[in-house]
Chain A
Amino acid sequence: MHAKQKPLVVVENLVKHFPVKLGAFGNQSAVVHAIDGVSFEIYQGETLGLVGESGCGKSTTGFALLQLHKATSGSVKFDGVDLARLPANELRAMRKRVQIVFQDPYSTLNPRMTIGEALAEPMRVHKTCPEKDIQHRVAQLIRDVGLNPNVANRYPHEFSGGQRQRICIARALASNPEFIVCDEPISALDVSIQAQIINLLMDIQEKYNLTYLFIAHDLAVVRHISDRVAVMYLGKIMEIASKDDLFGRPMHPYTKALLSAVPEADPDLERTRKRIILQGDVSNAIDPPAGCRFHPRCAYAADICTQSIPELHDQGEGHRVACLRLAEIEKETA
C-alpha cells in the first residue's frame, strides 16, 4: 500500500542511552538503555502508532526524533535531511516543520501568556505569517480546534483540561508543520473528553494533510487513530505492521499478551475470553536481559532467546516481527 508513497521520516538504528548516578551519594555510574537500535519509517500523510508500557522508550523515541533528546547514535531523516547532524541554526529552521503535542496540557502552556500570544509566538519566531495577518491567523487556528476566537484574550487557567489540549494542538499547528509527534495527548484527560480530542486530531490531519507519530499506551485508542502500529518493549521494536495486521493477526508473543490484557466493555466477551497473563515485571533498563529483551516473561522462550538478539524480519506486506522462535510458535499455536 505504501509502495508508491515516500517516507517522510526515516529512523535508522536510533540509540539513546542516559548516563545516571546511582547509590545514596551518586557514586555509582550506570547507563539506562532507553532505546537500543530502533528503526522505522513514517509515510507522508499516515499515522504511525507507537505503543508499549511505561519505560519501554516510546516517549524517548518521539523526543529523540525531534532532537529534544540528542540521540547517542543513529539517524533521523526528515524529508531526506538527517536532523541529528544539522547545525543548530538549520535545525531551528526545520523545527517549524516538525511539532509536538505533549501529554499534560496543564504544564505545557505558559500561565502568563494569553492564548492569543501563545499562538502568535511560533508564527513570529518562525516568520511563517506577516505581522498584519497574525490576528486573523490566530482566530482561524482557534476555530480549527473547535473553540470560539474570543478566547484569544484569556489565560490558560481559565480553561478545562480538554480545552487546554485543544489550545496546545492549535499552538502545534501555528507554524504550519508537516509532522506532529503526539505524545500521549489524551492520557491526562477525562474519559468523556478523550473522544473529542481524538476526533479533533483526525479532523486536522485531514484538513492540513499532516503526518503523525502517535505515542500512547492505550491500545484501543491507537487502533482507532493509526494506519500502522509499532509495539515497543524495553527499548526495542518487537513488531510493526499495518493496523489491521497487528490487531487482527498479532505474531509476537508480547503483542499477543498485550492485546489480551486490554479490557473490553462487553461482559459476554469478558466471560468467555482467555487471557494471556504475563508473569513478572518489565526488566530493568539499566541492566537489560541478554538476547531477546522479552525472554524473561515469554512463555515460549528457549535457550536461543537468551543468547541472540532477534532482528525485525518481514513476514509479508511489511508485517515485521522480532522473534527468534516465530516459525515454531506459529506452528505450535496454529
Chain B
Amino acid sequence: MTKLLEVNNLHTRFKVRNGYLHAVNGVSFSLDKGEMLGVVGESGCGKSVSMMSLIRLLPPAAQITEGEVLLDGEDITHASVSRVNSIRGSKVGMIFQDPMTSLNPFMKIGDQLVEGIVYHRKIAKAEALKQAARYLKMVGISNAEHRLNEYPHQLSGGMRQRVMIAMALLNEPSLVIADEPTTALDVTIQAQIVELVKGLREKLNMSIIWITHDLSLLAGMVDRIMVMYGGYVVEEAVLDDIYKAPLHPYTIGLLKSIPSLKTEAGSRLPSIPGAPPNLFSPPTGCPFAPRCAYKIGRCQDEVPMLAAVSGAGGERPHRVACWVDVRERGVEQ
C-alpha cells in the first residue's frame, strides 16, 4: 500500500480571552491510499479540529503551532494559501455534519456544484452542469437534471446530504474528510448514506476519514480506528482489535457503556464516572486519569506517549497511550 497522508506531531490551539485552549496536542498518524479511517471521540475531544487542521480549515482564532501534514509527500502545513485553496475541494473533499447550513440557501443546487468544478478546472459551464448531473446520479439522486434547478430547501435532509457528498466528489479527490456526516440524520437515512459511501469508496478508490462520536457506526465501515480524548490520540488499531482487544481504559469503558441490541437489557450499564476534561485547564498528566479505573501514580503527572504495543508487529501496529498495560491488570470495572 502506498501512503497518501502522513501527519506528524500536530498541535492546534485556540486563542481565547485569557490564554490558549489546547484542542489538539500532538496528533500523529498515517493513511494509505484507498484506506478508510474512523476517528471517534466525544464532543470537544479534538477530533474535528485535528482533521480540519489537515487542510487548515480553521477559524481565525486557531493556530497550528507545531507539526506537519504531508499529503502525497507535499507539506500542507507550510504551503501558501493559494496552494491550500487549490487542494481543498479537489485533492481533498469535505462532507460536513449539517447539510442545511453547509449549502447556500440562495443558490440552485446545480450552480453550487458547478462553482466547485469551474474553480478547479477550466471547463465550460454547460459541460460542468453535465458533470454535476452525473455526480448527482452517482449519489443516488433520481431525476438529477431536474434537481439541478432546485434550491436546498426543496430537498429533504437525506437528499441534501447526498448533494454534499456529490459536491465532495466532483473533482475526484484522493481523500475525503467526512465530519459526522450522518449525525443529523435519522437512523434509516443514516443506513442509506453509509451504504452509499461504502459503494462509492469501492468505485472511486479514495481514502476516507470518517469522524464520529458513534463507535457502533464504525464497526461495519472502516479499516482502522483512532480514538481521541482531551486533544490526544489515546488508541489506534485495525477495526477488529479496537472492538475485540481494546487496550486503552477509555476505549474499554466506552465500549462497555454502549447499550446494544444484544446486551442484557434491564441491568445497569457499566459507566465511566466523571465528565470529559475542560480544555481550558486540562489535567497535567494523562487527560483520562481523573476518570480512570486503572490509574497509577505516574498517570497524574506525565502524559503517556502513543506507542506501539509490544508484541503487535507489522506495518500497522496497535498503538496505545497508557502507562498501564491493561492486559496484565485483567478486567476491572
B192 and A277: CB pair below 8 A? yes
Whole-angstrom distance from the CB of B214 to the nearest CB of chain A? 7
Whole-angstrom distance between the alpha carbons of A191 and B251 in the complex?
12
B261 and A261: CB pair below 8 A? no
Whole-angstrom distance between the alpha carbons of A270 and B38 in the complex?
15
Whole-angstrom distance between the alpha carbons of A196 and B47 in the complex?
23
Known interface pairs A198-B269, A277-B188; 18 further A-B residue pairs with C-beta atoms within 8 A, sorted by A's residue number: A53-B189, A160-B275, A190-B43, A191-B213, A192-B250, A192-B254, A195-B272, A219-B261, A220-B259, A223-B261, A247-B261, A261-B190, A265-B258, A266-B260, A273-B220, A275-B191, A278-B188, A281-B158
B219 and A263: CB pair below 8 A? yes
Whole-angstrom distance from the CB of A104 to the nearest CB of chain B? 14
Contact of B215 among A193, A258, A265 (CB under 8 A): A265
Q: Which of B240, B259, B276 has the most CB of A within 10 A?
A: B259
Give residues 138-165 of B contacting A (CB, 8 Å): 156-159
Contact with A along B220-263 (1 / 0, CB 8 A): 11000000000000000001100110000010011101111111
**Residue contacts A-B, CB under 8 angstroms, 28 given:** A53-B186, A54-B186, A161-B275, A191-B258, A195-B259, A195-B270, A195-B271, A196-B271, A219-B187, A220-B258, A220-B259, A221-B259, A224-B265, A224-B269, A225-B266, A258-B188, A260-B191, A261-B187, A262-B261, A264-B220, A265-B219, A265-B255, A267-B220, A271-B220, A278-B192, A281-B156, A281-B158, A281-B189
Whole-angstrom distance between the alpha carbons of A270 and B222 in the complex?
11
Whole-angstrom distance between the alpha carbons of A190 and B219 in the complex?
19
State whether A270 and B271 are in contact (beta carbons under 8 Å apart), knowing that A195-B257, A220-B259 are contacts in the complex. no
B327 at the interface (CB under 8 A from A): no
A282 at the interface (CB under 8 A from B): yes
Chain A residues, CB < 8 A from B220: 263-264, 267, 270-271, 273
Whole-angstrom distance between the alpha carbons of A148 and B277 in the complex?
19
Chain B residues, CB < 8 A from A161: 275
Whole-angstrom distance from the CB of A147 to the nearest CB of chain B? 12
Whole-angstrom distance between the alpha carbons of A247 and B262 in the complex?
9
Whole-angstrom distance between the alpha carbons of A282 and B156 in the complex?
9
B195 at the interface (CB under 8 A from A): yes
Chain A residues, CB < 8 A from B122: none
A129 at the interface (CB under 8 A from B): no
Contact with A along B262-289 (1 / 0, CB 8 A): 1101101111110110000000000000
Contact with A along B87-123 (1 / 0, CB 8 A): 0000000000000000000000000000000000000
Chain B residues, CB < 8 A from A198: 259, 269
Whole-angstrom distance from the CB of B216 to the nearest CB of chain A? 4
B81 at the interface (CB under 8 A from A): no
A163 at the interface (CB under 8 A from B): yes
B66 at the interface (CB under 8 A from A): no
Residue of B nearest to A222 (CB): B259
Residue of B nearest to A266 (CB): B219
B217 at the interface (CB under 8 A from A): yes
B74 at the interface (CB under 8 A from A): no
Q: Which of B156, B219, B262 has the most CB of A within 10 A?
A: B219
Whole-angstrom distance from the CB of B210 to the nearest CB of chain A? 12
Whole-angstrom distance from the CB of A276 to the nearest CB of chain B? 8
Chain A residues, CB < 8 A from B258: 191, 195, 220, 265
Whole-angstrom distance between the alpha carbons of A192 and B230 in the complex?
13
B42 at the interface (CB under 8 A from A): yes
State whether A192 and B42 are in contact (beta carbons under 8 Å apart), knowing that A220-B260, A223-B265, A224-B259 are contacts in the complex. yes
A259 at the interface (CB under 8 A from B): yes
Whole-angstrom distance between the alpha carbons of A281 and B190 in the complex?
11
Residue of B nearest to A243 (CB): B265
A329 at the interface (CB under 8 A from B): no
Chain B residues, CB < 8 A from A267: 219-220, 239-240, 243-244
Whole-angstrom distance from the CB of A243 to the nearest CB of chain B? 6
Residue of B nearest to A275 (CB): B191
Give residues 250-296 of A contacting B (CB, 8 Å): 257-271, 273, 275, 277-278, 281-282
Contact of B42 among A53, A190, A223, A260 (CB under 8 A): A190
A95 at the interface (CB under 8 A from B): no
Chain A residues, CB < 8 A from B189: 53, 281
Contact with B along A196-216 (1 / 0, CB 8 A): 101100110000000000000
Whole-angstrom distance from the CB of B260 to the nearest CB of chain A? 5
A-B pairs, 4 with minimum CB distance: A270-B220, A195-B271, A195-B257, A53-B186
Whole-angstrom distance from the CB of B212 to the nearest CB of chain A? 10
Whole-angstrom distance from the CB of B137 to the nearest CB of chain A? 16
State whether A261 and B188 are in contact (beta carbons under 8 Å apart), knowing that A160-B275, A192-B272, A193-B275 are contacts in the complex. yes
Whole-angstrom distance from the CB of A161 to the nearest CB of chain B? 8
Chain A residues, CB < 8 A from B271: 192, 195-196, 199
Contact of A266 among B186, B213, B243 (CB under 8 A): B243
Chain A residues, CB < 8 A from B158: 281
